[in-house]
Amino acid sequence: MSPVVRRQTLWSLKQAAEEAPSLAALQARIRASAACLEAVTPLIPIPLRGLVQSGPLENGEWCLLVKSSAAATKLRQLLPTMVKELTRKGHEVTGIRIKIQALGR
C-alpha cells in the first residue's frame, strides 16, 4: 500500500474569505464600510481625520468609530451632509451613528 501524499496549500486571508460564503459576505461589508469612509473623508476636517475609523455597516446604518468625544460632537454636526453625500455617491446608507472608542482599543 502506497503512502498517502497530502498537499498543503497555503491560502491568503483574501483567498480563504472568498471561498467561504460567510467570510465573503463579511469581506464585502468591510469593503462597503471602507468605501463609505472614503466617500465622506473630504467632508471631515483635516485635524479630525486621524480620529475617525469606519465601523460596521448593517441594514443601511453605518457606524463611525471616533477616538474622542470632542471629535464626535463635531462629526454629529456633519451627519446630514455625510448622509446626503453617501446617497449622492450611490451608497445605501440611511443613517450614521457615532460610537466613541474606549481608550486602549
Is pLDDT at 1 greater than 60 in this prediction? no
Give percent of the chain above pLDDT 90.
Answer: 64
Res 15: pLDDT: 73
Res 102: pLDDT: 77
pLDDT tens string 10-43:
777 667 666 777 777 888 889 999 999 999 999 9
Is pLDDT at 67 greater than 60 in this prediction? yes
Q: Which of 29, 6, 23, 11 is nearest to 91 (CA)?
A: 29
Global pTM value: 0.76
Give CA–CA dist 40/72, Å, rounded.
Answer: 15
